[in-house]
Chain A
Amino acid sequence: MDTGQFQRIDEFTWEIPPRGAMRVPAIIYASEELIRDMDQKVYEQVTNVATLPGIVKASYAMPDAHWGYGFPIGGVAAFDPKAGGVVSAGGVGFDISCGVRALHTGLTRDDIEKVKTDLANQLARDIPAGLGSRGDIHLTDKEMQAMLSGGARWAVDRGYGEAADLERTEEQGCMQGALPEKVSAHAKKRQRNEMGTLGSGNHYLEVQHVAKVFDADIAAIYGIKEGDAMVSIHCGSRGLGHQIGTEFLKSMVVAAGKSGIELPDRELACAPIESDIGADYLGAMRAGINCALANRQIITHLTRGAFARILPQATLNMLYDVSHNTCKVETHKVNGGSMRLFVHRKGATRAFGPGHPDVPAPIRAGGQPVLIGGTMGTASYILAGTEESEARSFGSACHGAGRAMSRRAATKRWRGREVIDELGARGIVIRSPSARGVAEEAPGAYKDVTAVVDAADHAGLARKVARLEPIACIKG
């Protein structure tokens, strides 16, 4: 993008003052280089979001922002229900509550290196991944209802994991306010055989080592140090979330016309929070969040099983589980007062600062862990939420590297087998049911994750704590 379109507030803050139908400014947090590399569509989308009814303060885009659906991916916007604020199916996205879960292993890189091929093979055997894969769990109607109400808590009650996992999961593993009856029969049918599956696309399970610690104090609070081995799981609400997104997108487009909301883009489909369709969507979307939390909980259990076979001394305690496609009700300070807002994060991670009551007590002093997924050939990062991010982005930060190249361009440039061999030569074991899928997800198809997290750190959205590099990756 041309940087001349912005008012540069400081080195990492780029503002578009309100004009036309915009109700508030649009603000992008990024370095000059990242802004130059961003698609012009990000500008269009972040300003379109600023036109929606009831938006508060600003429409934000994170340093990894790229062309999304209605909202940019990396978009954050908060709405006031008392001012006619809206909830948007497009603002949450198709993969409701897609997120990242990080686990300690209690082991070091050296422990893993000796058995990494066996471990990768075991994980690939035990965790269903890719199109057409099914889990061993088949939900009855009654169990589906219980799962959609209970989330990860339901999974733990059924023997998938431990109660301690819930304390380290956003919402303590169970999103309140879910209305399973607002989830269609189609959505439930799509999910019936998909519990505990990784999915495809950019979803993965990775065994990583802590290559560098940047903030020793917070790392100590989180219980991580250089040389530690960790596990990272990236996936979401599978078919159920996709179906909820698809169905409400259509009904919100049709309803918006009737309620007089002018949509600059149909994908920005939304409904007043205080409307029947708004309430129905919130209830269904929260059930979708529970599905994602349950899914990551079951995958955690399968991961523990795979480790137990290869490395029985592994402990696999959770660091944290955070979602990046959600709409959550939160209280934020605005203009000196306290406001109850509906905060949409589309491809953006919640990043609450130190002392926040929603951060689990054992790690509260460090701030909420912000888990940033990188590519299978570069690195992932653990950041910590800051107090500043509350004022700058409703307590939000980036979520990943963001694509720099389309899937089509990636498959023209790389072959899956070559990518796997090249990473293998660097000591990284890749297991995937699809060679073309690996080519589409080639590390070179993504932006430089380090530039993204540096920008988030410099902009005050989150503080860099540690860099993690891959040892083995199971790709969906």
Chain B
Amino acid sequence: MTADSRWEHFHHGADIGVRGFGATKEEAFTAAALAMTAVITDPSHVAASTEVAIACEAPDDELLFADWLNALVYEMATRRMLFSRFKVIIEGRRLRGTVWGEPVDVIKHQPTVEVKGATYTELHVDQTENGEWRAQCVVDV
């Protein structure tokens, strides 16, 4: 996270929206990933001790963003991990990511819900008038 990057949650009737902002598209993607961890637990309680590589590809920025979050959902589910540090490189339709986290510890992390998947609801990747990037969607919990 840089000084320009930040995240927030937004309202959805049954579930919850994750939104990341950043000076670059990559920063917005990583900030939104942190917002997704914050749906599950307090990210400051997740040690960035184990590294995992992520790769995805999609025909446009929005599908690529959903793919990125879904790749994280998959890694969280199959490795039983939570992530708190993210690095992303986007080249055209391809994304390469490195993420850091630790295995879920129910006592330490007090996980609230499992994220089932990133959806295409309220899915947007765009730049605001001042040039800031925004990446967001609703995640199904």
Chain B residues within 8 Å of A434, by CB = 110-113
The residue in chain A whose Cβ has the minimal distance to the Cβ of B103 is: A132
The stretch that binds B, out of A115-123, A155-163, A246-254, A391-399, is A246-254
A373 interfacial contact with B, CB 8 Å: no
Chain A residues within 8 Å of B63, by CB = 250, 253-254
Could you tell me the distance between the alpha carbons of A436 and B42 in the complex, rounded to whole angstroms?
A: 11
Chain B residues within 8 Å of A69, by CB = 119-121, 138, 140
Could you tell me the distance between the alpha carbons of A242 and B121 in the complex, rounded to whole angstroms?
A: 16
The stretch that binds B, out of A211-219, A337-345, A400-408, is A400-408
- Which residues of chain B from 44 to 87 have any CB-CB distance to chain A below 8 Å in the complex? 58-59, 62-63, 66-67, 70, 73-74, 77-78, 80
If the complex has contacts A94-B140, A254-B59, A433-B106, are A249 and B114 also in contact, measured as CB distance less than 8 A? no
Partner of B11, one of A189, A245, A408: A408
B14 interfacial contact with A, CB 8 Å: yes
Inter-chain contact total with CB atoms closer than 8 Å = 115
Binary interface encoding of chain A residues 401-426 relative to chain B, with 1 for a CB under 8 A from any of its CBs, else 0: 01100111100000000000000000
Q: For this complex, into which size category does the number of interface residues on chain B fall?
A: 35 or more
The residue in chain B whose Cβ has the minimal distance to the Cβ of A402 is: B14
A443 interfacial contact with B, CB 8 Å: no
Whether the Cβ atoms of B13 and A190 lie closer than 8 Å is: no
Whether the Cβ atoms of A266 and B120 lie closer than 8 Å is: yes
- Which residues of chain B from 6 to 49 have any CB-CB distance to chain A below 8 Å in the complex? 9, 11-16, 40
Binary interface encoding of chain B residues 119-141 relative to chain A, with 1 for a CB under 8 A from any of its CBs, else 0: 11101000000000000001011
Chain B residues within 8 Å of A253, by CB = 63, 120
Binary interface encoding of chain A residues 320-354 relative to chain B, with 1 for a CB under 8 A from any of its CBs, else 0: 00000000000000000000000000000000000
B104 interfacial contact with A, CB 8 Å: yes
Considering only CB atoms and an 8 Å cut-off, how many residues of chain A contact the other chain?
46
Whether the Cβ atoms of B16 and A406 lie closer than 8 Å is: yes
The residue in chain B whose Cβ has the minimal distance to the Cβ of A405 is: B13
The residue in chain A whose Cβ has the minimal distance to the Cβ of B70 is: A246
Chain B residues within 8 Å of A265, by CB = 120-121
Give the interface centre of B12, B63, B138 by most chain A CB atoms within 10 Å: B12
Could you tell me the distance between the alpha carbons of A95 and B15 in the complex, rounded to whole angstroms?
A: 13
- Which residues of chain A from 28 to 59 have any CB-CB distance to chain B below 8 Å in the complex? 39, 41
Binary interface encoding of chain A residues 189-225 relative to chain B, with 1 for a CB under 8 A from any of its CBs, else 0: 1100000000111000000000000000000000000
Could you tell me the distance between the alpha carbons of A408 and B9 in the complex, rounded to whole angstroms?
A: 8
Whether the Cβ atoms of A200 and B12 lie closer than 8 Å is: no
Partner of A130, one of B77, B111, B138: B111
Whether the Cβ atoms of A440 and B113 lie closer than 8 Å is: yes
Whether the Cβ atoms of B120 and A249 lie closer than 8 Å is: yes
Supplied contacts A201-B141, A433-B111, 4 more A-B pairs, CB within 8 Å: A69-B120, A69-B140, A94-B116, A440-B113
4 residue pairs, one from A and one from B, having the closest CB atoms:
A67-B13, A132-B104, A131-B111, A436-B112
